[in-house]
Every structure is written in structure tokens, then in C-alpha cells.
Amino acid sequence: MEDLGTVAWPPEPIRTERLVLREPEARDRAAFIELHASPEVHTYLGGPRPRDELEREMPEVPGRWPGNFVVDLDGAMIGQILLRRARGHRRPAAAGKADLGYLFLPRAWGSGYAAEACAAALRWLADALPGEPVVLTTQTANVASMRLAAKLGFTEVERFEAWDAEQWLGVRSPATPSG
């Protein structure tokens, strides 16, 4: 995966009804470590990383690259949205396309925050790179993620086996101007 490259970055913070999407800052470091060390968050993502390794290796300002959004609720990070370029994707249908990923802290699950934040990130992408489809890969066993993908308007391209599990590749076509 590569960053989006040509987009103007960082954008002005994006405000939704309850959330702010913004670039990562130094004060988010602890939440990034929590997110990546959480076994719950990584149930369908190949397992968490050891906390001591994260403490050692996480940069002072984590993940500063175009397309990497912190999702902020009342001044604290609750999740991360990743929009990247899927250069080396194992499925030809996804190769080179903009790719959406999302990770939220368990305490923030189940309140519609992920749907609200992802919809805003997708609107930002549609402005920044008009006409681009977006792809998304998730395990079919990841029910919350499958529901979220459907809610955001992704439709199935194919299912495939990888990383010892069934994966779902979805695509969201760019909005067409309505007449």
C-alpha cells in the first residue's frame, strides 16, 4: 500500500455531527498504541502487535501521511481511517485503486461513529480525487465490518481466500451526477 500521493494534505479538519477527522498529532500516540496492541481490534486483522514493540517503534507523531485520518471525539482519538493506494493488491480488480480501512477503539464501537467518520472520509476523497472508485477488503467473518461496508455503499466484487480466511473485496463506485 502507498499513500494517495497527489492529494493536498493535510486537509482542514473535517467536522461531522459528532466527530472531527484530522491528521495525527503527538497527543494521539497513546491511542495509536492502544489501537494496534488491542487483541479485540485485531481479531480479524491477523492479531495485535506487542505493546512493548509499539512503545519502542511508534514515532513521536504517528502515521503522518496523506490519507491517514485520526477520528476525534470530544478532543480524544477514538479511531483511525486509512485511505491508501492499493498498488500491490493481490486481487487484480483492486490493484492501483484507492483503498479504505478503518480501526476503532472497542469502547467507541456500536454508536455509529465508524459509519459517520467513513462517510465523511469518502466525501473528502470524492472531492480530492473526483471520479475514483474505492475498494475495501475485509474478512467475511468480521460481521461489524461487513455491515459497515454495506452501509457505506460498497458492493461485492468477489470473495477469496487469503491469510487463512475468507476475504471480501468490495467496491464503491464514484457518485454519478444526478439529473
Ligand X SMILES: CC(C)(COP(=O)(O)OP(=O)(O)OC[C@H]1O[C@@H](n2cnc3c(N)ncnc32)[C@H](O)[C@@H]1OP(=O)(O)O)[C@@H](O)C(=O)NCCC(=O)NCCS
Interacting residues toward ligand X by CB under 6 A: 41, 44-45, 101-104, 109-115, 138, 142-145, 147-148, 151
SS3 of residue 57 by DSSP: helix
In the bound state with ligand X, the residue whose beta carbon lies nearer, of 103 and 157, is: 103
In the bound state with ligand X, the residue whose beta carbon lies nearer, of 1 and 143, is: 143
CB of residue 134 vs ligand X: minimum separation in angstroms? 12
CB of residue 86 vs ligand X: minimum separation in angstroms? 12
CB of residue 13 vs ligand X: minimum separation in angstroms? 20
Number of DSSP helices (H) and strands (E) in the chain, helices first: 4, 8
* Residue carrying C-alpha cell 504517528: 62
CB of residue 87 vs ligand X: minimum separation in angstroms? 17
What is the 3-state secondary structure of the chain?
CECCCCCCCCCCCEECCCCEEECCCHHHHHHHHHHHHCCCCCCCCCCCCCHHHHHHHCCCCCCCCCCEEEEEECCEEEEEEEEEECCCCCCCCCCCCEEEEEEECHHHCCCCHHHHHHHHHHHHHHHHCCCCCEEEEEECCCHHHHHHHHHCCCEEEEEEEECCEEEEEEEECCCCCCC
In the bound state with ligand X, the residue whose beta carbon lies nearer, of 7 and 73, is: 73
In the bound state with ligand X, the residue whose beta carbon lies nearer, of 15 and 18, is: 18
CB of residue 47 vs ligand X: minimum separation in angstroms? 12
In the bound state with ligand X, the residue whose beta carbon lies nearer, of 51 and 151, is: 151
